[in-house]
Homo-oligomer: A and B are copies of this chain.
Amino acid sequence: MEDMKVLGRGAREGAVFLSDASAADKNRALEAISRALLDEQEMILAANAEDIKNAAAKGLSESMIDRLTLDGKRLESIAAAVLKVRDLPDPIGEVLDERRLENGLMLKKVRVPLGVVGIIYESRPNVTVDAAALCVKSGNAAFLRGGSETIGSNMALEKVMRAALASVGFPETCVTLLHDTSHEAAREMMGLREYIDVLIPRGGAGLIRTVVQNASVPVIETGVGNCHVFVDATADLETAAEIILNAKAQRVSVCNAAETLLVHEAIAERFLPMAKKALDTKNVELRCCPRALEILGEGGNVKAACEEDFEKEFLDYILAVKVVKDVDEAIDHIRKYSTHHSEAILTKDEKNAERFCRLIDSAVLYVNASTRFTDGEEFGFGAEIGISTQKIHARGPMALKELCSYKYIMKGDGQIR
């Protein structure tokens, strides 16, 4: 096994350097990385081709293989994303609070990097570069652990990024990839409290659970979204049908896609056929509660739901459907099944909207809009590292500012207590 402490110490040295690097220097490093990704395209794509060959030999599904694959165009867009991160404002050094205390001490609260950010992710190799770029920009060293299927691609990307960092005078350990993709190594990384300040798992529910259960490094949970759309009695039904189609089916593999449709009983008979018509255009399967089943009629894409269907993040062309008595039943249902990501109410009743937003404990609550907007770019934050579904540190889209901490600086002239 690699000597994890050596890797950790290297990452910490990178973090110390980065914490003191100027915005201009960090931007130069990002430019060097972006350029190197294009210059070294051949080497990177060859490594990726090897990964793909191995994945195919292992019998991975076509859609999985597609997610692993790099080509010239994808690499170009990865390199372009690095430049977009460069163009974001530097979050470091911003004064968040400044005041003089009664005893004359001058208090200043300043934004600083977190230090070493550990990211544990699954297959897609673009995360390797995205995560590294966000870390460098926010003054953090990146300590990365990607999936075993793309270890060759990730090692090539690490090599290219490290050479680029060195070319502008940065320690190459600002970006560290775990080459050992065993579970044992991942677990050792999760316990590296001395060298890693925070762990961010990016991936499915299983990955996140493993990290949460095994890490002693602080974890920020991201990304599992069992998102709900509630269509209230007063909703504009045409708009509601468009929103549920968008929330469910514009892109099914993402965490902000809707997984359950709740419909007020007063409009269920009118609205459910409209919703079905819209969702049929994308061939969405509906898993229905008894009342919805009664209205829509079982058969074709309309099926009976079991309890589990309301718990699941399908990430597929499947939607659970339930008729509810009123906004309170909708709130109770969401409280019970939600993963605290994003929920929407479609209504003209401001009181119900206010109640929904107040009583549901999720990162983002929508009134009359699709859940698909829970995204760093959409929020105007620029690129993001993930969507936090926990309540400490950061909630919702985590972009550069959320990759930071703060420190207090107190200046005095001899104050004692």
Contacts and interface: CB of A to CB of B under 8 A. Distances in A.
Interface string A233-262: 000100100110111001000000000000
Nearest to A354: B409
B392 A392 contact: yes
A218 interface: yes
A193 interface: yes
Contacts of A407: 357, 361-365, 395-396
Contacts of A250: 416-417
Contacts of A413: 368-369
Contacts of A364: 407-410
A57 B396 CA distance: 53
A105 interface: yes
Interface string A218-244: 111000000000000000100100110
A170 interface: no
Interface in A380-417: 380, 390-393, 395-396, 405-417
A246 B114 contact: no
A191 to B, nearest CB: 9
A366 B414 contact: no
A369 B236 contact: no
Interface in A349-382: 353, 357-359, 361-370, 372-373, 378-380
A175 to B, nearest CB: 20
A17 to B, nearest CB: 11
B412 A368 contact: yes
A414 B367 contact: no
A220 B390 CA distance: 14
Nearest to A417: B372
Interface residues of A, number: 66
A243 B16 CA distance: 29
Nearest to A397: B408
A409 B105 CA distance: 38
A406 to B, nearest CB: 6
A114 B393 CA distance: 10
Contacts of A146: none
B417 A368 contact: no
A107 interface: yes
B392 A101 contact: no
Nearest to A221: B218
A163 interface: no
A107 B379 contact: yes
B414 A368 contact: yes
A391 to B, nearest CB: 4
A255 B417 CA distance: 14
A61 interface: no
B373 A415 contact: yes
A138 interface: no
Interface string A86-123: 00000000000001010001010000101100000000
Nearest to A219: B218
Among A16, A99, A216, the most chain B Cβ lie within 10 Å of the Cβ of: A216
B414 A365 contact: no
Contact of A367 (B20, B379, B396, B411): B411
A29 B369 CA distance: 38
A198 B392 contact: yes
Contacts of A305: none
A416 B369 contact: yes
A338 interface: no
B409 A361 contact: no
10 contacts: A105-B369, A115-B361, A213-B216, A220-B392, A242-B416, A243-B416, A363-B407, A366-B412, A367-B409, A369-B411
Q: Which 6 pairs, one residue from A and one from B, show the smallest C-beta to C-beta distance?
A: A369-B412, A246-B416, A391-B405, A393-B393, A369-B415, A239-B414
